[in-house]
Chain A
Amino acid sequence: MAKTIAEINEKIKKGKAVVVTAEEINDIVREKGEKKAASEIDVVTTGTFGPMCSSSAYLNLGHSKPRIKIGGGRAYLNDVPVYTGIAAVDVYIGATAMPDDDPRNAVFPGAFRYGGGHVIEELVAGKDIRFSATSYGTDCYPKKSIETYINIKNINEAVLFNPRNSYQNYNVAVNLSDRIIYTYMGTLQPNLGNANYCSAGQLSPLLNDPYYRTIGIGTRIFLGGGVGYVAWNGTQHNPCVSRTKNGVPRVPAGTIAVIGNLKQMNPSLLRGTTLTGYGATLSVGIGIPIPILTEEILRFTTVKDEDIFTQVVDYSDAYPQGKPDTLGEVNYAQLRSGKITVQGKEIKTASLSSYVKAREIAETLKNWIKKGDFLLSEHVADLPSIESEITFKPMPSKSVKKV
């Protein structure tokens, strides 16, 4: 029997909705069968927590007296540069921004201890953030420089806006070279010393709704410990890739852009993160509820780690050189077991995303919905799916004339 989101919301309001996590659903379906489970279960909750580099926030800082036009000038939060090319007192901070005087990789491998992601974490934690700006001065905005402290509690708006989060599947990174390498997939020991992966697998939002039937623009989600929304498809959203027969992509595929009020988020679920030798970023916690509207939607949520396959990629050569080669396919049950076999060698696996936090997020969202604190939203437009004919484009290579 098909349900509607409005019907599920009525049950949520009455405290009668049946909500389970994407881990728990597997036992229930094994016990009751798909048909019965689909009619009994209203919502399946998912979760993921990991470094998501395309994350950022924009802030409206309010006007100083006399006024300063930060727009078009230069500005910093705790010495991390922010983008000022918008309006007078709006600034935009990206998770990977670094202080001007950070040595980066000049002393290799760079430590990248403090960047934009760390500023976002401290802001959410309610800490004072040192703000400095210089500008050119105008008749209506005469002030040319300012140095002060800002706090999330007393700025007008603080909005988390992440152009690409929650990747639907991701590569497993290994290192075939004979030296240690430092990548966005973590530290990789030489000669297949270790294999790093980064997905919550069976708990991951887009792997439980592989064709984006219920997750779309306007979907209300758990974001950084608060409530947020899916704003758009994420950048590099690439749905038309090879998939297994359960619909699950075998390579990185869909992504989402998400937005939410930073003021109601939690610093333990928005964590400034360091990738030695690579850069600073933000680890983001996201949970998405999947309304069980049909039996098919339920079937998608029963995906297990052993049904989700991904590619092993060499980050010493194939990845940096943009070669399509892979070293084989493994599933998440193998990855989570602690070892996989690549080129006949058994190697240790480790994750960059936290399964512990992913599980916590799915649990928290489940409890919010059960208590009636979180209602589901109808999405207002679909994300592009397999019929979209989207292709993943490389950067064009053209010679530029020197004048």
Chain B
Amino acid sequence: MYAKVVHLRFPREIVNEPIVMNLVKRFDLSCNILKATIYPRKEGMVVMELSGNRKNYHSGLKYLRNLGIKVDSISQDIKRNEEECFHCGACTAVCPTGALYIERPEMTVAFDKDKCSACELCVIACPAKAMEVNFDKGLLD
């Protein structure tokens, strides 16, 4: 079982493509959509967790890329500004996936990007404004 959260950016021409159905049907993958938007110029954005057999996962990704969809790992869009973070831990209370957690006994706040679902709850909860989520930046170059 292989699972990864990916960030897909669609050019306007294929925003109507039934990609989720194809990923399920043709590649036997599970798709858990965490976030989806269509922007004013009709480009699309989806954040989803893809899971299944590793080989199928890679074939699925290839299918997406061949369609012209830009596929990125979620970790490129979520950043913690290390200089701003003062390690209080307020974010750990709202993080639903445990990507932000306390390391004991040091009491430092750790961030495991691989577990992040990009829900952005930490952005709201962070008193230091240290969490940065940049989906909209570099929309479709």
Binding site for B on A (CB under 8 A): 49-51, 109, 113, 186-187, 189, 193-196, 268, 271, 273-276, 283, 336-338, 348-357, 359
Contacts and interface: CB of A to CB of B under 8 A. Distances in A.
A350 B86 contact: no
Given A276-B125, A338-B102, A354 B88 contact: yes
Contact of A351 (B89, B104, B121, B126): B89
Contacts of B86: 49, 268, 271, 283, 354, 356-357
Interface stretch (B6-14, B60-68, B90-98, B133-141): B90-98
A133 B83 CA distance: 33
B97 to A, nearest CB: 13
A274 B89 contact: no
B108 interface: yes
B127 A356 contact: no
Contacts of B33: none
Contacts of A187: 90, 93-94, 121, 124-125
B93 A356 contact: no
Contacts of A274: 126-129
Nearest to A273: B127
A85 B48 CA distance: 56
Contacts of B127: 51, 186, 273-275, 283, 352
Contacts of A195: 93
A351 B90 contact: yes
Interface residues of B, number: 21
Contacts of A336: 104, 107
B124 A355 contact: no
Contacts of A275: 127
Interface string B6-43: 00000000000000000000000000000000000000
B94 A351 contact: no
Contacts of B125: 186-187, 276
B106 interface: yes
A187 B125 CA distance: 6
Contact of B92 (A193, A276, A283, A350): A350
Nearest to A23: B105
A271 B87 CA distance: 12
Contact of A50 (B88, B102, B107): B88
A275 B90 CA distance: 10
Given A189-B93, A283-B128, 8 more contacts: A186-B125, A186-B127, A273-B127, A283-B127, A350-B89, A354-B86, A356-B107, A357-B87
Contacts of B106: 356
A194 B108 contact: no
B90 A352 contact: yes
Nearest to A355: B107
A356 B107 CA distance: 6
Contacts of B94: 187, 189, 194
Contacts of A338: 102, 104
A176 to B, nearest CB: 16
